[in-house]
Structure 1
């Protein structure tokens, strides 16, 4: 686990970079397989339980994740569409649970026997990104990527 960096690169864009001891294909699988995604996507410290994950991972397909939190009476759903799917290399998706959701792009690049993951979140406005930062939703990346790192190490065995 190393090489992680979270950076605001413009008024509307946040970029997260991290190196992993895994092949790009293994990381892509962890991002596109519902059972695997449920094991790492939600940081444990958030107290959120993943109830379901539906993923039709193809260009034009969609996804829907449903979460429960003890502070909420009703489950929360996060959903969107896949705008681009390039196996083992790139995913682009919308976050449609609110009008302020970003378009997210993740790339998986081989770097010797490691892989670099770069996640771009492009928000529709400066205010939308600032609101996401203030809400704490962008603070999850360190913990999420640590969970992903632990998961891919078990898959690589």
Structure 2
């Protein structure tokens, strides 16, 4: 078993913090039990992403997940929702393998928030900082922090996934 991914007692639980750092920005921080390479892949490979992103407690079903994680590439997530499915989509504007991702959130039209995620490996674990920057205070006020508040459960699920992947996963 690799150091930092888990132990016989299970993975170390880390706290997720959610902080509104300005009128336009919300920052989520969490240390994940795995190397930056695997954490980055969990964000950029659809077959992994769909296994951890949606908090199980929300009872939502992810119908499809398409990820083309390259600058100019797009993502599209479609969720079951009554009466019709709901899609979230955008474009990757920055991709630095194992260290940084940034994408637009376009489902609300032009001028939606931009999400940036950094990955900093420390002793086999990865500090993930997810920043959601909105075009205005009003846009952030309207969006609220519900989605980012749910990231704690999503990150718990990511920790669980990484234990199953171990060091042998990845490309």
- Using the size of structure 1 for normalisation, the TM-score is 0.92
Decide whether aligned partners of structure 1 residues 137 and 75 sit closer, same or farther in structure 2, where only a CA change above 3 A counts. Answer: same
Q: Runs ≥4 in structure 1, deviation > 4 angstroms? A: none
Q: Tell me if the contact between 2:104 and 2:115 (Cα under 8 Å) persists in the aligned partners.
A: yes
Q: RMSD value over aligned CA atoms?
A: 1.4
Which runs of 5 or more structure 2 residues have no equivalent in the other structure? 1-12
Q: Please name the residue that 1:17 is paired with.
A: 29
Alignment coverage as a number of residue pairs: 154
Q: Which residue of 111, 120, 126 maps to 2:131?
A: 120
* Structure 1 unaligned spans of 5+: none
Q: Which has the larger radius of gyration?
A: 2
SS of equivalent to 2:156: helix
Q: CA deviation at 1:3?
A: 4.0
Instruction: Check if 1:38 corresponds to 2:53.
Output: no
Structure-2 separation of matches of 1:61 and 1:38: 18
Aligned-partner SS, 1:81: strand
Alignment of 1:78-93 (within 5 A): 78-93=88-103
Q: CA deviation at 1:124?
A: 1.0
Looking at secondary structure, tell me which structure has more strand per residue. Answer: 1
